[in-house]
A and B are shown apart, each in its own frame.
Chain A
Amino acid sequence: MGEAEASGRSRAERFDRLARWLLPLLVVVAIVFGWHLVVVVNEIPPYILPGPGTVFATLVKDWPILSGALVNTLAITTLALIVATLGGVGLAILFSQSRLVEYSFFPIAVVLQVTPIVAVFPLINIYVDNTTAKLLICAWIVAFFPILSNTTLGLNSADRNLHALFHLYGASRWQTLRHLRLPAAMPYFLGGLRIAGGLSLIGAVVAEFVAGTAGFGSGLAFRIIEAGYRLNTARMFAALILISAAGVAIYLVLSLASHLILRKWHESAIGRER
């Protein structure tokens, strides 16, 4: 292989890496600038469409209110994700111990998953008093299923010959679970977790919209509704941006965790050969 070819390839690689950051950034800048132009040229009043500058100023000015709401939303999301993880993994382990248990309960999990949460929420609203509990149940129902189905698949994906080996050495059920099935399920579980992270946020926000909670403990969704009543459109945008940012942050954190856990052995985390 010639030196010119090698250096050509490394230049192409460097360009590729740069383009991955630069291109989306340019697109975002273009959109923001276009938005600004539309607002300025058409002289649109801020209660209909605030310009990006106004939104940013509102974000800074309202930070005490918005940051509190962000913390509340994130708290519900995190709690829901933890409960969804415990519930999803717990159920998957239960299912993996007996086909009959899986046959009995998996369809119910599917029903929970496919019924739109917005339609179920008014019922939850009747039976549960505590607001935090309401939101949590709602977010949990939305988030646990990908963890359950992925982990179930993963627990059954261990190599048949490894199973034979465990049998040969007289491994107990617990040992097989601990040393074979759970590690084999890890990549599947982490994939489910990444989806569930986004869904927890959606669940938390949707629940809050429907619940219409006010005062102490209210999150970003409530702030959006409230700002809507007051025609404070700039704050609506600011809260929306914070929700998106929270979703992206959750995804990045979970992706990073997944990468760190799998980097030693799983193909998905190893990347291309150099």
Chain B
Amino acid sequence: MAQAAQSIDPAASAEQPSAVVLGGVTKRFSNGTTAIADLDLAVRQGEFLSLLGPSGCGKSTVLRLVAGLIEPSAGTIRRPDEQNADRDIGFVFQEPTLMPWASAFTNVWLPLRLRGVSKRAARDRVMEALDGVGLAAFAGSYPRELSGGMKMRVSIARALVTEPRLLLLDEPFAALDEITRFRLNNDLLELWGRFGFTVVFVTHSVFESVYLSSRIAVMAARPGRIIRTLTVDEPYPRTDAFRTTPHYGELCNETSAALLLAMEEGRPA
């Protein structure tokens, strides 16, 4: 599965240009909650960045800000390379968020359809996207006929059908069983290696973030902020064998310690 994956040296990616730059971003909701405060973050082009933190620390808010679904109260969000920034993003939610009344094909067709691409013109790209997640045979199936993991695959295919430069995922595998999650982790890495898009991946799992990411930003709550970034110096492609290496264990320990610290800091006084 991972044969085509690119080999990225995480240390070298520090010189990569930025895909997204958040400068002093604060988000206050209308009910007075300050979800994130004065947050700086530069997402490098082509990297796999995880946002790791306890729930309620503002991870989803960061993702929604980057996607342009909500506006910051203060600060700037720039996408240096894109003229048409909001049209070049794929978004995967924690739930598959499929239209239950439409087949897998029609669900994946949606982003193209909204841009005026006819079914006939979209067919090849939609089938390619479904094939990429191993679901070409299920194009005609309705969401209720698919398992949780398959629904999530359709959701990923939908996000990738526009060939976005930036893929945002908000705890996409949190609701799945461990076996399915591991498999989808590998599939996601394989797609990332094949297409070379930039990934921002939200998770609250230390193990998942270490396995997947080239870099991990650890967040603390109240107010949401990044307290530490860690580089995962394990080259790609990574396989399940990585999960059993001592190096993986060390990285997980280090990341856990950072997360613990984040939870200490975010504890209400």
Binding site for B on A (CB under 8 A): 159, 161-162, 164-171, 175, 179-180, 183-184, 186, 264-266, 270
A248 to B86, CA, bound (A): 53
A171 to B101, CA, bound (A): 18
A126 to B52, CA, bound (A): 73
Query: Do B68 and A168 touch (CB < 8 A)?
Result: yes
Using an 8 Å CB-CB cutoff, how does the interface string of B137-155 with A read, 1 for contact, 0 for none?
0000011100000000000
Query: Do A171 and B144 touch (CB < 8 A)?
Result: no
B269 contacts partner chain A, Cβ-Cβ < 8 Å: no
- With a cutoff of 8 Å between Cβ atoms, the chain A residues found around residue B144 in the complex are 265, 270
How close is B157's CB to chain A, nearest CB, in angstroms?
14
How close is A198's CB to chain B, nearest CB, in angstroms?
26
How close is B95's CB to chain A, nearest CB, in angstroms?
7
Binding site for A on B (CB under 8 A): 64, 67-69, 86-87, 89, 91, 93, 95, 97, 99-102, 110-111, 113-115, 142-144, 162
Complex: chain B residue closest to A176, CB-CB: B114
A164 to B111, CA, bound (A): 12
Query: Do A166 and B100 touch (CB < 8 A)?
Result: no
- Can you give 11 A-B contacts (C-beta < 8 A)? A162-B97, A164-B91, A168-B89, A169-B87, A169-B111, A170-B86, A171-B114, A183-B101, A184-B101, A264-B142, A270-B144
Query: Do B97 and A169 touch (CB < 8 A)?
Result: no
Contacts A162-B99, A164-B64 known; list 7 others, CB within 8 Å.
A165-B97, A169-B114, A179-B99, A183-B102, A264-B142, A265-B144, A266-B101
A167 to B113, CA, bound (A): 14
Known contacts A161-B93, A175-B114, A270-B144; A167 and B69 CB within 8 A of each other: yes
How close is B8's CB to chain A, nearest CB, in angstroms?
27
Query: Do A168 and B101 touch (CB < 8 A)?
Result: no
Query: Do A168 and B113 touch (CB < 8 A)?
Result: no
Going nearest first, the 9 A-B pairs with the smallest beta carbon separation are A161-B97, A169-B114, A183-B101, A265-B100, A265-B101, A171-B114, A161-B93, A169-B111, A164-B69
A265 to B99, CA, bound (A): 9
Query: Do A265 and B68 touch (CB < 8 A)?
Result: no
- With a cutoff of 8 Å between Cβ atoms, the chain A residues found around residue B89 in the complex are 168
How close is A137's CB to chain B, nearest CB, in angstroms?
35
Label chain A's interface by main secondary structure. Answer: helix
Which residue of the partner chain, among A167, A168, A180, contacts B99 with CB atoms under 8 Å?
A180
Query: Do A159 and B97 touch (CB < 8 A)?
Result: yes
- With a cutoff of 8 Å between Cβ atoms, the chain B residues found around residue A186 in the complex are 101
Known contacts A169-B87, A169-B114, A171-B114; A265 and B97 CB within 8 A of each other: no
A183 to B101, CA, bound (A): 7
Known contacts A166-B114, A169-B114; A266 and B100 CB within 8 A of each other: yes
Complex: chain B residue closest to A187, CB-CB: B101
A202 to B68, CA, bound (A): 52
- With a cutoff of 8 Å between Cβ atoms, the chain A residues found around residue B97 in the complex are 159, 161-162, 165
- With a cutoff of 8 Å between Cβ atoms, the chain A residues found around residue B64 in the complex are 164
A170 to B86, CA, bound (A): 8
A169 to B85, CA, bound (A): 11
Query: Do B143 and A168 touch (CB < 8 A)?
Result: no
Complex: chain B residue closest to A264, CB-CB: B142
- With a cutoff of 8 Å between Cβ atoms, the chain B residues found around residue A162 in the complex are 97, 99
- With a cutoff of 8 Å between Cβ atoms, the chain B residues found around residue A179 in the complex are 99, 110, 113-114
- With a cutoff of 8 Å between Cβ atoms, the chain B residues found around residue A165 in the complex are 91, 97, 110
Complex: chain A residue closest to B159, CB-CB: A165
- With a cutoff of 8 Å between Cβ atoms, the chain B residues found around residue A266 in the complex are 100-101
Query: Do A265 and B114 touch (CB < 8 A)?
Result: no
Complex: chain B residue closest to A270, CB-CB: B144
- With a cutoff of 8 Å between Cβ atoms, the chain B residues found around residue A265 in the complex are 100-102, 142-144
A270 to B144, CA, bound (A): 10
Complex: chain A residue closest to B87, CB-CB: A170
- With a cutoff of 8 Å between Cβ atoms, the chain B residues found around residue A166 in the complex are 114
Complex: chain B residue closest to A160, CB-CB: B97
How close is B111's CB to chain A, nearest CB, in angstroms?
5
Query: Do A183 and B99 touch (CB < 8 A)?
Result: yes
Query: Which has the most chain A C-beta neighbours within 10 Å: B87, B95, B100, B101?
Result: B101
How close is A41's CB to chain B, nearest CB, in angstroms?
58
Query: Do A264 and B101 touch (CB < 8 A)?
Result: yes
- With a cutoff of 8 Å between Cβ atoms, the chain A residues found around residue B99 in the complex are 162, 179-180, 183
Complex: chain A residue closest to B93, CB-CB: A161
Query: Which has the most chain A C-beta neighbours within 10 Å: B111, B114, B143?
Result: B114
How close is B13's CB to chain A, nearest CB, in angstroms?
27
A166 to B86, CA, bound (A): 12
- With a cutoff of 8 Å between Cβ atoms, the chain B residues found around residue A159 in the complex are 97
Complex: chain A residue closest to B97, CB-CB: A161
- With a cutoff of 8 Å between Cβ atoms, the chain A residues found around residue B115 in the complex are 169-170
A264 to B229, CA, bound (A): 47
How close is A228's CB to chain B, nearest CB, in angstroms?
50
